[in-house]
Structure 1
Amino acid sequence: MDGQTRSKWIDYFFIYWLLISTGGFVFLLTGANPMDPPGNDPASYLGRANTILISLATFWIYLTNSRAVNAVIRASWLPFLFPLLAFLSCIWSDNPAITFRRAYALSFSFLAAACLIALVPPPRVARAMSLALGWAILLSVLFVFVDPAYGVHQASDWVEPHWAGHWRGIYSHKNPLGNTASIALLVYVVFAKRVLRSAIFRASVLLAIAACLFGSGSVTGLVVGMAMIAVAKGFSLILEARQEARVLILGSASSIVALVLITAVPVLTVGLEMLGKKPDLTGRVPIWGTILPWANEHPWLGTGYGSFEETLLPRFFAITGENLVNAHNGYLETFINFGYVGVLLLVVVLISFASKVVKILRSQAPYEKLVLPLAISLFTGIVLSNITESFFLAYASIHGTCFVIAYIMVSVSLAQAEAAERSSLQKRSTGARRLKMMTRVTGLPRAS
């Protein structure tokens, strides 16, 4: 296999991995029927086989490119502590087998993200994301009309039949469809034109995104998508400013945004009511109030990674009769999984990301201008989305995947900028030493 063919196959793999990372095709891979309670159906082994194949391919890519991938991991090591913490949590988890399987999936998700950034240039990363998200959205619309029993919530569904009529596409619930559509909206409004030639495909996906946001009733997805677009556009303008003014502009803009968010709470409440949404974020606030006291029973290390369904869901179902797959809040979910240790690590990761962005803006070295708007807008959307969904460490969510991708992209950009600056300083220092030696040898005066 020559280099060009190998590069194409690697691109195809990452597109497929990103598509699966959106959490799509759950019913097909598990052989589940949304009208029946989940069970240990042998067909679920199809999903496990798919996970194993992706893991093996990822490990092969890593082994054949370990030097480059290891360099990327060293530059962005901080979030990689989460998979390690996930494996360690098997020690105190109530169900170590499930925790181990989910930690395994999370670790390979992080490793695949590192391989992607190490081997694929930023424009091809954006292209892979565009194609994966585009096909996820188009296939969702196809499922809605071709197989509505799977593509649309039904009143006969086993879980949450009150969402009957809302689209879920290739997903198991309307929320993942809306959340995936929010990232697709960002990518296709801001970035896809740079990396995809077909205007017809881009227009088709944009129409499908609008249909999915409307069909799933995802107001949150629309709001987060628009916020990410604003961040991407705004940051692209910041990069056009003079180097010494960038940090000042970014700081001023961040302060204004924070002030607007603080003062907009009453307006947001009224707006939600006008849209038919309750101010309690569609019942999420009472969920948090119910779950938080139980999470406080294991405050330091939590109950183990991915343990919500095993430890807290039975208690929640006994009280409310509702089935949940997560806490509907990424910050709370991190506390449930890993306690104060996990929350502290998450805070450090968020601060580290912001610090790296500021350092890049202060750097005088050249860098890929596609990276920062894409990474920062994705990261901002994930931070916002985790208010109502659990995405930070979700191994079957495009948001969880983009969380680590965005951090790695910024970390690698900073490492490259610092390396370029060191190289420039060394060249200037070497030139100065040579000039000094020539001055001594020739006796010529140095230029003032």
Structure 2
Amino acid sequence: MAVHSKHPASAPPGPPVREKTGHLMLRGWCIFVLFMALSGTAWVNAFGELPAAVITIAGGVLSAVLWIVLRPPVQWRRLPWFVVAYVAWATLSLAWSAWPQATALTLLLLYITTLQALFIGSVLTWRELVRAVASALKWVMALSLLFELWVAVVIQQPVLPGFVVDKADDPIEYWSRNNLFDFPGRLQGVMGNANLLAPVALLAIIVFAIRLASGAPRRVALWVWIGLSAFLFVRASSATAYLAAAAVAVVLVTVLLMRRATKPGERTKFYVGYVVVGVGGLVSLWLLRDTIFTALGRSADLTGRERIWESVLSRAAERPWLGWGFATPWVPSDPAFDEWIIDHGQTVMQAHNMWVDVAMQLGIIGVVLLALLYFAFVWRSWFFAVDRPRWDLRADRPYSPITLLPTLVGAILLVQGLAESTPLLLWGWLFVVMLGAKIKQSPHVGVGPAEQSAAIERGERVGRVDPEGRAAEPDRADRADRADRADSTDRPAGRST
């Protein structure tokens, strides 16, 4: 007669949890989309405008189809409404645009970038998002170095877009200037522009450092990636990126000090110090701009940018409220922009200041909407970083290094936006929309319906969800599961008949 064991038995051993193939492919697609945004003009330089446009549009269509099929949980009331308002106002400008064809073309790019940002933020958890960004940045950094190495070793002379080896009228036309072994010559990477490579390299340093602080595996490899990114950042030699790095350092130190505050009023002195350093830094930069930019190898007028700003602002003054029509970037083939502003023999494609650019395109109303958009993003990302995660009475949960990413990205883009218009498109716009929407949808790392549904798709066991949609902590859920199993096995033994 069989007798049940009087001793509780543990759960039978099983294989380790593995991600489903579909979710692996989804994350791979998100990495590709992020790589497209971060690599910027590399696609145009390598394949031409038409193939790059086809790839971009096809990518947007595929992401839209995936979004419809997957139907990730989205709280529609918590969409980034200032982003929606800005995109809507840009769309309305088509009614009075002085360059309707350029407006329609660039609006399509704006729609696709916004769609991709919302898509990635909705299908990936916070940890997956940072991991995907790190993977995309590895591709950009590695290809930039390999491209410069190929030009220096194999071609041994500057290369024009389309892999054409010929002499250019001006060095600005080169895709690569063959400067890898010509120190201190500036490297341009796969983007073909040092001012685009430098902020991406700075972003890579931040993301890899966050991965290290999060306890990611292969730590030695992460240190190597940080070293490679730092090398490309220094060799790109962008004055704007150097200032952005200084701003990132100030923000990081302030956030870490804020996290150490234990009393309600203790943060006040840090806020005061932060404002003093910020305002003092801006005033010093303006008063000492000749000395600072000379030391950085740049002219005091930011390499001719003041002349560009004067031309753009004079046109903006003619239509101060509504602007001339959305066009980000400027389409050089359009008669309104063709040879309007010439720099180094090339038609300029941006105002080299996102606020000046928006003032000309969308008027004062557009500037106000953009300011509200960035204010909301900076506000949420700041408190996402400095506030301890809390959704119940427990107030001692540890901070997550992942929460530093949005506020540090905001520091990069705000500084870069003073001398470039690139925060309005490509990875700049994608990251503002993606991170801003992600904070609204998932204000706590690893907690909430969106975070939990993705974890279930990966096959992981997650904590129970309370009636309000917040997940219980994994450790408590695991303890409850073990208690349930113990209750079912550790009962008085009985005889079977």
Taking structure 2 as the reference length, what is the TM-score of the superposition?
A: 0.72
Match of 1:285 among 306, 314, 317: 306
Which residue does 1:296 correspond to in 2?
317
Which residue does 1:380 correspond to in 2?
411
Which residue does 1:115 correspond to in 2?
119
Greater C-alpha radius of gyration: 2
| TM-align CA RMSD | 3.5
Do residues 184 (structure 1) and 204 (structure 2) align?
A: yes
1:177-216 map, 5 Å? 177-192=197-212, 194=214, 196-216=216-236
1:202-351 map, 5 Å? 202-242=222-262, 244-245=264-265, 248=268, 251-265=271-285, 266-306=287-327, 308-309=330-331, 310=334, 311-312=336-337, 314-317=339-342, 321-351=345-375
Amino acid at match of 2:375: I
Amino acid at match of 1:88: L
Do residues 46 (structure 1) and 51 (structure 2) align?
A: yes
SS in structure 1 of the partner of residue 341 of structure 2: helix
Which residue does 1:172 correspond to in 2?
192
Q: Indicate how the Cα distance of structure 1 residues 320 and 171 shifts in structure 2: closer, same or farther if over 3 A, else same.
A: closer
Amino acid at match of 2:368: L
Do residues 62 (structure 1) and 67 (structure 2) align?
A: yes
- Structure scoring higher RCO (CA < 8 A, sep ≥ 6) equals 2
Distance in 2 (alpha carbons) for counterparts of 1:376 and 1:235: 9
Q: Indicate how the Cα distance of structure 1 residues 280 and 10 shifts in structure 2: closer, same or farther if over 3 A, else same.
A: same
Amino acid at match of 2:420: E
Q: Select between 223-232 and 292-301 the one with higher mean Cα deviation.
A: 223-232
Taking structure 1 as the reference length, what is the TM-score of the superposition?
A: 0.79
Query: Shift of residue 118 of structure 1?
Result: 1.8
SS in structure 1 of the partner of residue 404 of structure 2: helix
**% identical aligned pairs:** 19
Q: Is the 2:121–2:435 Cα contact (8 Å) retained in structure 1? A: no
Amino acid at match of 2:423: F
Amino acid at match of 1:30: F
Alignment coverage as a number of residue pairs: 407
SS in structure 1 of the partner of residue 375 of structure 2: helix
Q: Is the 1:243–1:364 Cα contact (8 Å) retained in structure 2? A: no
Match of 2:128 among 85, 106, 124: 124
Once superposed, which parts of structure 1, at least 4 consecutive aligned residues long, lie more than 6 Å away? 151-155, 415-422
Which residue does 1:16 correspond to in 2?
32
CA offsets 1:140-167 (integer angstroms, 9 cap, x no match): 0111111354489999335654985432
Amino acid at match of 1:156: K
Q: Indicate how the Cα distance of structure 1 residues 74 and 66 shifts in structure 2: closer, same or farther if over 3 A, else same.
A: farther
Amino acid at match of 2:137: L
Do residues 76 (structure 1) and 80 (structure 2) align?
A: yes
CA offsets 1:61-105 (integer angstroms, 9 cap, x no match): 321344624x26733221122222233222222343332232122
Distance in 2 (alpha carbons) for counterparts of 1:246 and 1:65: 46
Which residue does 2:47 correspond to in 1?
30
Higher share in helix: 1
Unaligned runs of 5+ in 1: 32-43, 425-448
Query: Shift of residue 342 of structure 1?
Result: 0.7
CA offsets 1:252-311 (integer angstroms, 9 cap, x no match): 243123232244223454222223222212221222122210222222222222263443
Q: Is the 2:406–2:435 Cα contact (8 Å) retained in structure 1? A: yes
Which residue does 2:435 correspond to in 1?
406
Which residue does 2:493 correspond to in 1?
none
Q: Indicate how the Cα distance of structure 1 residues 373 and 321 shifts in structure 2: closer, same or farther if over 3 A, else same.
A: same
